[in-house]
Every structure is written in C-alpha cells, then in structure tokens.
Structure 1
Amino acid sequence: MILKFKSLIPFLLASILALSTQSCFDGDDYDMDKLSEQVDWTPNMIVPAGYGTYTLWYLLNQHEADPADQTIMLDAEGFLHIKYLEEDIFTYNVADVLDFPAQSALNLSYSLPSFGVGIDYGLLPTFSPQTDQIQITTGGSTAITLYELDLNANLRFLISNPLNKFVDLSVSIPNGTVGGAAINEVFNLDPNLPNQEKILNLADLNLLFNTPYTTNNDIDIVFNITVIDDGGLVTSSGDLGINLEVQNIDFQLAQGDFGNQSILLDAGNIDMDVDFWDDIEGDYQFANPQISLQMENSVGVPFQINADIIGYASDGTSAALNPDALQPNYPNAVSATNPLAIDAITEIITYDKNNSDIVDLMALPPSDRLEYMGDITLNPVGAIAPTPTTPNLISNNSAIGVDIEIDIPLDFTANKLMLRDTIEDLDISDADKIMNAAVVIVTENGYPLDVMIDKIYFTDAAYNIIDEITDNEVIDAATVFTTGAKIGEVDPSSIKEVEHQIKLTQTQIENLNKTENLIINASVSTSNGGVPVKLKGDYELKFTLSVQAQIDLNN
C-alpha cells in the first residue's frame, strides 16, 4: 500500500487553514529551528502545524486494528510485501476421476443336457465347469481400463433350478481373492424353484482383470454344479438360469488407465482488499509479483493444469495472467505401510514474470476482483502413459487441494502515478484577515519516492471549481543503490533535509471564504534510471510543517 502516502498530502495541505482553526501544541516537542524564515514577505504569525517521524510500516498498517486484516507483511529482511492467501480454490476428488454407477444385471445360463422323462442318478453325465464374464462398468464419458481393483462388493444371484433335485452350485472367481484367500462359494438350490436369491459377500476383495486389458473390464466367473442324490429319477425342464448383479461397490484402490479426462474446476473470485488501488491511475510496475499454487495431491494420475486468472479494474478493464500450462508432480506408488492408500505429495507451482503475464495483471490494477477458472486434463500429451507396470492409481480418499498465495514484493517503478483525495466540509470564515500565507515543509525523506502536487482545487459545496493551486515537488525522494548487493534499497547517505514552500496568491486567499472542499491531485514517481525501488518497513519520513502568514491586525 505504497500509496497510503496520499493520507499525508491532505494533512500537509490542511495546514494552510490552521490560521483560522489553530489548535494547541506542545512547544517543547517542536523543533522551532526548522521553522522557515525564507518567505519573501515578513510574516507576523508563524504557526507550527505539524511534525513527526513515520516509518513505512506504520503508515501502511496503522489503519488496521486487527492484524488478521493486514495485507501488508514484512519478510525476514524487513522488506514489505502485499500478501493474500485463499484456501481450496481448486479441488477435485476421486468421484471426479473414477466412479462406479449401478451395475446392469447379467443373464447367464448353465447348460444342462435333456433328461427326457427322467434318468437314473447313476447315469448322469459329468458336469464340467462353465466360465462366464462379468463386466465392471465405470461412470463418465471417458472409457476407463482397469488393471486391478481392491473393493468391497456383493454379488446378488437369482438362480432358477429346473431339476427335480437339490443342486449345489459352486461359484468361483479365479482372478479374485478375499483377504488373500481364493473365492469358492457353494449355494444349495431347492428343486424346481425359480429365482432363488443368493448373496455372495465380498469384503476386502482384490480383482485382477482379464488380459488383454480392455475398457470392457472383464472378470472371469466359474460355475459348476453337483446334483444331490436322494433316490429316484432325475428330470429337468431346461438349463439352470443365473441372473447376476454386482451390487454396493465400495472401491478402495484402483489401478488402470483412466483415459484423457478433462475435469472442470469450480470458478471463483478473489478480492485482495488493497485499498489504494481504487484511488490511483498511472504507470507503475511491480518488479517480481508471484502467484503460487500450493498443492496437496493424493491422486496418482499425471495431470496438466489449464487455468487462468483474470483481473478486473474498477473501470471494467481487464488483464489476464495467461500462465503456461504446467504438469505438476503426482504420487506414483501406493503406500508401503498401507497397500490400500496413496501417500499425498505436496508441491508449490509458482507463476511469475517468466511464465505468465503477472506483471501486466498486477499493474492493471485488479482493484475490483480476480476471477479464476479452468480445467485439469488427466494423462495429458507428454506425460508417462499408463501401463500395467506404471498404472494410474487412485484410492477412495484420493483428492487434490490447491491453495493460492499472491505475493507482491513492494519492489516497483512508478512514473507520475496519480493519486486523488478530497478534504470535505471546510468552514473558513476568516480568510479576509489573511494578507499573505505560505506553508513551509521541512523534510528528511527516507522513502525512495518523489511526491508531486499537480493540482489543489478549491470547490464549493457542489464541487464546482473556484480556484486552484499548481505546485512543484513537495517531498524529494531518497535515492537508491543502482548496482551491487543492495540494488533498489535506499542509500542512507542520500537522505537530506530539504525545505519547500507552498504560497497562496491573493486571489487564492480571497477564495478561501467560498471554499468548502479541497480536491488534491498528486503523483508519485521513482527515479534511479528505471531501477525498481524496494520498500522496507523501517524507512522513515521526518517532517516539520509551519504556516506563515501576514495578518491584518486591524481587521
């Protein structure tokens, strides 16, 4: 908030009016030797109107009662920064990458020979195992190929037994294990009864999908039957019917190829709450602003961030960050301590002047808001392609969270950066007593900023201009080192005591009676051959103000 210096300007200018609204002061605290005697008329009144020493840190933060509201920060070396942090601007989780909708039921049949009017049990043929396929369907518009899946699920069977005998139906999944043990469940079926419901509970299930891997995500399931001998002939009315449905999929860990998905990120906006951006216009540039994305990622899929930030000024103009597309790091292995978890990794992605248009964005300035939007591309071009040995990985608690931190070191150049402020509701009734008046300002400026008064407008209550003051330099900048390790920092040897006068003409004095508002247009510039100045919190401005006047003592 370098431009909080605008708060000094009305303070300086309001001193002109101290002749008619003089307040008490402690003369012991005031350096009377710094009151000027250089005006070209002889004053009969010298009023000490102000004095003080102000550090940059005080000027920029004294208005914030709560430290949590401060956007100006000091770094370890005492340099000033504008900083802003917003959490969870971008998030996506497992459901955005992989989900399992309700699975379609599958109608199968176990082929039985025709037994005609009946056959003796001892003449039954040997029943061979029959292998069928279950398909695991994934959601979304992108085809996903699964290599391996850890999950909890149920297999629901509706089985119709056409035999007049009890039947044991054996169900096995060759490429599946439950808790490390092979899956082999036997269901006992009643004679001549359709739609017998049987549930196979599969907790802690590991599945290996059929090769060659396809987006069908096939798994073999093997059926075999044993007819129970209870005496008498065996009859049948057809094949044994099996209606199969995979239910209640609760996956723990998936490995596969999740495709070239594009995930839209939630858009939002940021108000950095930098007060002075509403009150300035002109040419300035920060030397090294940065936007950092602080990421925590437990989604084991290579991805690319395709996002942008657009800043809007109060007048509606805009500028974009235009960052380079980046492919951050991602976890590529399951946890050694928990084979069903993926350890999150953290990373900071930084956009700066080398990979974005952040300098133009912050020079806009974004006084209204910053809007962010974009998407994430999974398995982008150029990333390591998923294979069974380098699969995409995702667990049921995988997620990506992204916080954004904006860091603008107050390291900048400025050329006639215009400031505007207004002093309202003035009541000046004794200006007719003033014959001559001047404000004398004595400064030791440790700030690397030149402050210029462009215009001071006297206006009536409706802000119609009555008169104006045009002035020259008021506060001379301290110079900075232009080479070496301290480049941009103030050279202490350049800080000198400087005196300046603002004189009022007779017309301006006469117009004070009609003045109800003062509008001040000022500007701030840096010099130093274009070397950016670096602002430190302990830079000081020392000043003494006095108002000198000739008063008509007979009036």
Structure 2
Amino acid sequence: MNHKLLYYLFFASLLAAGCNQFQEFEDITTVDYQAEYAVPIVNTTLSLEDILTKLDDRTTLVVDPDGLIRLQYSGEVLRQTSADVFANINETIASVPLIPIASKHQPLPFSSPDGLQMDRLDLKAGSFYYTAQNEHPFSIQFSISSEQVTRNGIPLKLTGTIAPYGGTGTKPVLTNLFSPLLLNGYQIIPQNDTVYIDYEALDPLGNPVDLSAVVIRIQDLDFYYVEGYLGNQIYEGGRDTIFIDFFDQWTQGDVYFAEPRITLNIENSFGIPTRSIFEVFNVFTVHNEVLPIESTFIDQGIDFPYPTLAEKGQIKEGQFVFTKDNSNIDQVLGAGPIAVDYEVNALTNPDQLTNIRGFITDDSYYNVRIDVDLPLYGQARDFLARDTFALDFSTFQKVTAAEFKLVTENGLPLSVDIQGYFMDENGQTLDSLLQQQERVVAAAPVNQDGVVTESTKEIKFIDIDEARFEQLRSAKELLIVASFSTVNEGRVPVKVLNNQSTDIRLGAILKVSDQ
C-alpha cells in the first residue's frame, strides 16, 4: 500500500448520498448558478501495476506472459568461499606445530578424524621449516626431501653441513628457522593419504648415520587447488530476513495468495557434493505470529548442483521451488506475511561416499539467495488499510460549500469500501466523511479462471454544506480507512492482470462567497 493508492481512495471517498445535480463530467464546463463554479478535478486511469510500481526498492514487479502481476521479494546473497574449507585443511596439516622425524622415511598423514583425504594440493603459500641436530664428533652432510612435494616437477630437497659435536656444550644444528622454504608454486601428491619425508645424514666417508633430533614444521598454508575426499563438514552460510512491504499499511482482514512460491537459488563452483541445512525458515505475520515453513525437502535437505572433476572452472546453477504442493507455504504466506527469516548452511559430502572425489579452487564459492513470489491471484476479505493526509483549508476562505461527483469504471476484481475522519491539530475527530463506511468501487465480475469479464460502473455524490464546511476549516488531517475485498466478498480466487484498470472521474461544484 502506498500514498498513490490512498490518494485514489481519497478521491473515491468524496461521495455519499445526496443531490444528483451533475450530469456526466463531459458536460460539466459551465453552470448557471451565480457564485458557483464547476471544476473538473480528476480524469485518469489507474492500474494496479501503476500503483504497485511505487512500492519501495524491496519489491520487484513482474508480469507473466499471460499478464498476471507478481510481487517478488529477494533476500541478500548468502555466500561461502573456499577460505573456510582451506582453513580446515590447513588446520589438519598443521595440527602438530613441530613434527619429530624419527625415521629416514617417515609418513606424514594427510587425513583427519572427520574423513579428510587429499589426493592433490597446489600451494599458493606456506612455509617449511626444519632443524637437524648433530651429536656425532664429525661433521654431517645432511639433506631433507620429499618425492611427493614438487615444484615444476622437481622434488623438494634442502641440503647443508652440520658441524661436529665437541662433546660439551650445545650440540650443533642445521636449521632454516630464519629463512624458511616458501612453498608457493609447490604441488603435493599424497600416496594413500600419506606424504613421506626423507632425510639423509652422511659422515665424511659417505656412510649413513642416524640423528637423534630432526624436526620439521609446516605452517601458513594457502592453496590454489585441492582435490580428494574433502570431508563431511558443515559450513555456515549466514542468516537473512526478507521484509515484505505489501502489508505496511495493514490494519485487519485477510489476504490469501492462491499460488505463492519461495525459490531457493543456488550458484556453486565447489566441486563437492553439498546439501542444504535449514537452521531457520520462518514467516513473521501481521498477527505477530512466527510460523515455520514445513516441507520434507527442508527436513531432508536440498542437494546443490556441483561441477565434477571433468568440469573444473564451471559454475553450476540450480533452483528449488517451494509450492503449496510440497510445503505449507500457502498457509504461512496466506497469513499476512511481513517477513521471511532464514538461515541456510551447507553440509559437504552428506552421504560420506569416499569414492566420490571432489575439488576446490581458491576462487570456489557458493551463493544462496531466496526469493518470495506473491502472485496477485487469490482472495481478499475485509483487508483493511489506513493512512493520514495533511489538510489545509486556509486557502479556501471564499469557498463556503461543495458538492462532489465521483464516477468510477472498474476493471479490477477488487471492491473498495471507504470511511474517512477529519481531525484537528490535536488528533480529535471533527467529523466523518460518510455517515458510515460505504462501498465506492464495486468489484468487476470474473469467470471460472478468476479473470475479469467486464467492467462495473459506480456514480457517487457527497455534499458538504455551508455549516459543515465551516466546521471542517480547522481540520489538519484526514484519516482514510479502506477495506478491500475480491469479488463475492472474498470467496472466489481472482487474478489481477496488468491490462486491468480503473477509470476515475471526479468533479465538484464549489459555492463561493465574497463575504
């Protein structure tokens, strides 16, 4: 509801029983009464599409090919990037700050208790540290390497000489603690979820010896690409609320949308089987209710489309539409919705099928957006809205009385009942516009499909005599209360189409005094 609609209602409200001195407005050009003036005020055509385009930026107006008008409300995009996934992998690899190398061919596990199994890692960043201590009285030629960690096909290997130990004091060490090997550009290919670290220690004659203290440390890893079975993990997507402004001016009454939809829109470039988890999915209503949206698809989750290993670099898109056939949204969105609150998280590898190998790149992401679609197809019964308008009769000092005539030709399947109240600067009611709430626009008849078959015409009059006009001079506001119903008092579902409109012609005879 917006002011343009309520201005329309205001014009529609200038009516009531009384004189019928007017002819059709086409004839209202002059009048034979001295000090009376015939004034055409409004001659316009309004469609509901015109009115609804003035709703705020939260609302998108869509017209179907058959002309049916839809109100669409979209939430913010809930986005998850590869950063959190890579952080989990880094945490797994670097879970032990210092790794003692107790054998010359030692395995480093590249798996985790939650099932992370990696087949390939392309490194964007990271640091590799090592320290080797010599307890022998001779120098040592030392090397540490891994055949499974390569750069441009060349395995990682670091070498150096460790000084002999003199028997007392601190034992000599070889370390790169202050100049670690930077791992950007390296690729790791585990074997059976394992990477082997090898070290070699040779005496001056080239004979292998053992060292009692060799340690390594891997930290600050970042990745271009990871491939494998990447675990069964929940990743938080965030929470959002969609506000629905259709009911902003609502007071009472019911509106039922016959075929509402809520669409889950998904964009995904994670190459991993992923399933939605709805932590929150509720509708807030004008009755201060919080109603859960219910569906077996919410309980079971909705699978995201995802690229396979053969589709690296592709973005998969998909939609899932909640309708009245697979959920209860016709009930919850028929209860006067003012907001939809939702939180959607993602569960990777929901079926824990380790034979399905996936991938993630450094620019992988998924987006989830929820759209609410309210087609103007349904029923309304005593849908009451109200708004106030500022008045100032000080510019009409010479006007002592008025008579208004309103002619409407309605092609919309909506009837409108009106009452108005003139109020002073203290909010006290001075007078009502009508003796009682009155129908000013009759709903056009519809066929079995809810489509209007012909227009209806209404003619209304209202007199404001001299005494009443004088009483209203101190009015500062007009409160308009409008009640909407579809045809047959809201018992028949109707469709509002973009080619349906209401013609409004409003004129007045003003009595003017020079006193």
TM-score, scaled relative to structure 2 = 0.77
Partner Cα distance (2:242, 2:9) in 1: 30
Residue 195 of structure 2: aligned partner: 219
* Residues 65-80 of structure 1 aligned to structure 2 (within 5 Å): 71-80=60-69
What is the alpha-carbon distance in structure 2 between the residues aligned to residue 248 and residue 410 of structure 1? 55
Residue 431 (structure 1) shift: 11
Q: State the Cα distance separating 1:60 from its structure 2 match.
A: 1.2
Aligned to 1:266: 238
Letter in 2 for 1:221: I
Match 2:486 to one of 526, 538, 548: 526
- Residue 85 of structure 1 is matched in structure 2 by 74
CA distance in 2, matches of 1:51, 1:250: 68
Q: 1:324-339 maps to which residues of 2 (within 5 A)? A: 324-325=297-298, 326-335=301-310
1:154 CA displacement: 4.6
Distance 2:325 2:284 in 1: 22
Distance in 1, Cα, partners of 2:427 & 2:314: 65
Cross-structure match for 1:9: 9
SS of the residue aligned with 2:248?
A: helix
Cα distance 1:396–1:69, how it changes in 2: closer, same or farther (>3 A)? closer
Please report how far the alpha carbon of residue 524 of structure 1 lies from its aligned counterpart in structure 2 after TM superposition.
Answer: 0.9
State the SS of the aligned residue for 2:172.
strand
Q: Pick from 359, 365, 373: which aligns with 2:343?
A: 373
**Native 8 Å contact 1:55 1:540 kept in 2:** yes
Residue 228 (str. 1) matches residue 194 (str. 2) = no
Distance 1:175 1:500 in 2: 89
Cα distance in 2 for partners of 1:465, 1:68 equals: 35
**Any conservation in 2 of the 1:441–1:543 contact (CA below 8 Å)?**
yes
Give the Cα separation in 2 of the matches to 1:418 and 1:43.
42
Larger radius of gyration: 1
Deviations 1:29-57 (A, max 9, x none): 9512899xxxxxx9996844434232315
Number of the residue aligned with 1:464: 428
- Deviation at residue 514 of structure 1 after TM alignment: 6.4
Distance 1:297 1:509 in 2: 66
- Taking a change above 3 Å as real, the CA distance of residues 443 and 163 of structure 1, as seen in their structure-2 partners, is same
What are the within-5 Å matches in structure 2 for residues 396-407 of structure 1? 396-407=362-373
- Aligned partner of residue 228 in structure 1, secondary structure: coil
Q: SS of the counterpart of 2:393?
A: coil
How far, CA to CA, are the matches of 1:249 and 1:448 in structure 2? 64
Q: Deviations for 1:462-521, whole angstroms, at most 9, x for unmatched residues?
A: 333344321432111212221xxxx23222xx2143323446799967854665543332
* Distance change in 2, residues 1:510/1:106 (3 Å): closer
> What per-residue deviation string (whole Å, max 9, x for no partner) do you get for residues 259-318 of structure 1?
44233332233445x365234431101222323232221221322231434444577544
Once the two structures are TM-superposed, the CA of residue 376 in structure 1 deviates from its matched residue by 2.6
Q: Secondary structure at the match of 2:309?
A: coil
Q: CA RMSD in A?
A: 4.3
Quick one: structure 1 residues 395 and 546, their matched pair in 2 at CA, closer, same or farther if it must change by over 3 Å? closer
1:421 to 348, 364, 387: 387
Instruction: Assess if the C-alpha contact under 8 Å between 2:80 and 2:365 holds in 1.
Output: yes
Q: Distance in 1 between matches of 2:310 and 2:291?
A: 43
The letter of the residue matching 1:246 is I
Partner Cα distance (2:203, 2:513) in 1? 130
After the TM superposition, which residues 231-310 of structure 1 pair with which residues of structure 2 at under 5 Å, given as runs? 239-272=211-244, 274=245, 277-299=248-270, 300-310=272-282
- The question of 1:481 aligning with 2:441 is answered no
Does residue 146 (structure 1) correspond to residue 111 (structure 2)? The answer is no
2:497 pairs with 1:536: yes
Q: Is the 8 A contact 2:115 2:232 kept in 1?
A: no
Give the letter for the 2:459 counterpart.
E
Q: Structure 1, residues 85-141: CA drift from partner, whole Å, max 9, x if none?
A: 3442x122223234213442122345xxxxxxxxxxxxxxxxxxx422224587xxx
Aligned to 2:452: 490
Following superposition, the deviation at residue 414 of structure 1 comes to: 0.4
- Amino acid of the residue matched to residue 472 of structure 1? E
User: Relative to 1, partners in 2 of residues 1:406 and 1:34: Cα closer, same or farther, differing over 3 Å?
Assistant: farther
Closer, same or farther in 2 for the Cα pair 1:507/1:319, shift >3 Å? farther
Whether the 8 Å CA contact 2:68–2:375 is kept in 1: the answer is yes
225 and 320 in structure 1: CA distance in 2 versus 1, 3 angstrom threshold: same
Code of the residue aligned with 1:386 in structure 2: it is: L
Shift of the 513–249 alpha-carbon distance from structure 1 to 2, 3 Å rule, reads closer
Contact 1:15 1:546 in 2 (8 A): no
Contact 1:447 1:540 in 2 (8 A): yes
Partner Cα separation in structure 2 for residue 432 and residue 132 of structure 1? 102
Report the counterpart of residue 27 of structure 2 in structure 1: 32
Q: Which runs of 5+ in 1 are unaligned?
A: 20-26, 36-41, 111-129
Candidates 43, 55, 77, aligned match of 1:52:
43
1:278 counterpart letter in structure 2: Q
Retained in 2: the 8 A contact 1:304–1:378? no
Most deviating of 288-297 and 186-195: 186-195
Is contact 2:307-2:314 (8 Å) kept?
Answer: no
CA, structure 1 residues 450+402, in 2 after alignment: closer, same or farther (shift >3 Å)?
A: same
Match of 1:133 among 98, 102, 107: 107
CA contact (8 A) 2:268 2:317 kept: yes
Matched residue type, 1:241: A
CA distance in structure 2 between the aligned counterparts of 1:188 and 1:31, rounded to whole angstroms = 108
Q: Whole-Å Cα distance in 1 between the matches of residues 460 and 477 of structure 2?
A: 24
Structure 2 equivalent of residue 94 of structure 1 = 82
2: CA distance between counterparts of 1:538 and 1:285? 22
Q: CA deviation at 1:208?
A: 1.9
Structure 1 CA distance for aligned equivalents of residues 268 and 34 of structure 2: 73
Once residues 106 and 69 of structure 1 are traced to their aligned partners in structure 2, the CA distance between those partners, rounded to angstroms, is: 55
Q: What count of residue pairs does the alignment treat as equivalent?
A: 484
1:159 aligns with 2:124: no
Partner residue of 1:204 out of 186, 192, 197:
186
